[in-house]
């Protein structure tokens, strides 16, 4: 059985847009999905350096506006027409909520979609326990237990571990998928990932800049 490791943050627009397609691929291919929620901003800073968040207004409007609305239409998902109100709040509670669910054997596939959709469709605050309760009320989960565990030392240690592993493995955004160790960044690469099950890609041999000849 192949494994897909799913590195993402609970507030990621593109994780939301690709989530259902990812689940379709896993079901069709019979592969195991491992959720690895991580703290996005330290990963971005580590990958991109001092200029990690110095984007022009046009860049932001395109990649975090036009592209989101266009992909939402393509994936047939509802999405806000603005940046979520509470988008910059801490991810410790929401990511921890998902990690606790995974540790408890809860259906984290459905739970994570509920949080992602709640944030990007319903404008919920992922740092507010009441908002998490409301976003997951339709699921058969013990939200009180998950909320109690979400910010525990045990769960936050896993959150930190996921974040550090993302940095070590060269992740630079959310979502990032690893299929049997090979990295695919962005939900727009899910079709490439799916293609790999039938037509595995050759070994990576591209270097930029070119390596000096010996």
Mean of pLDDT over the chain: 94
Predicted confidence at residue 189, as pLDDT, reads 97
Number of neighbours of residue 15 by Cβ within 10 angstroms: 28
Dihedral angle computed from the Cα positions of residues 48, 52, 55 and 61, in that order, rounded to the nearest 10 degrees:
90
Q: Report d(CA 95, CA 66) in Å as an integer.
A: 26
Summarize pLDDT for 10-45 with one digit per residue, the tens: 999 999 999 999 999 999 999 999 999 999 999 998
The tokens for 178 are 């690893």
Asked if 16 and 120 count as a contact pair (C-beta separation under 8 A), the reply is yes
């Amino acid at each position: 059985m192949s494994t897909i490791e799913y590195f993402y943050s609970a507030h990621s627009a593109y994780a939301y847009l690709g989530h259902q397609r990812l689940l379709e691929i896993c079901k069709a291919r019979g592969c195991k999905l491992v959720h690895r929620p991580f703290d996005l901003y330290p990963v971005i800073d580590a990958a991109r350096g001092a200029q990690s968040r110095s984007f022009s207004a046009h860049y932001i409007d395109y990649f975090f506006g036009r592209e989101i609305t266009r992909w939402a239409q393509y994936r047939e998902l509802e999405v806000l027409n603005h940046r979520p109100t509470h988008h910059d709040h801490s991810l410790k509670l929401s990511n921890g909520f998902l990690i606790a669910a995974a540790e408890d054997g809860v259906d984290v596939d459905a739970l994570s979609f509920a949080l992602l959709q709640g944030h990007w469709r319903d404008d919920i605050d992922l740092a507010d326990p009441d908002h998490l309760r409301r976003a997951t009320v339709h699921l058969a989960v013990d939200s009180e237990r998950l909320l109690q565990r979400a910010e525990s030392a045990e769960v936050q240690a896993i959150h930190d571990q996921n974040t550090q592993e993302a940095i070590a493995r060269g992740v630079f955004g959310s979502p990032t998928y690893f299929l049997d160790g090979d990295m695919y960044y962005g939900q727009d690469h899910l079709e490439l990932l799916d293609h790999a099950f039938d037509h595995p890609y050759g070994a990576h041999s591209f270097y930029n800049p070119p390596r000096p000849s010996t």
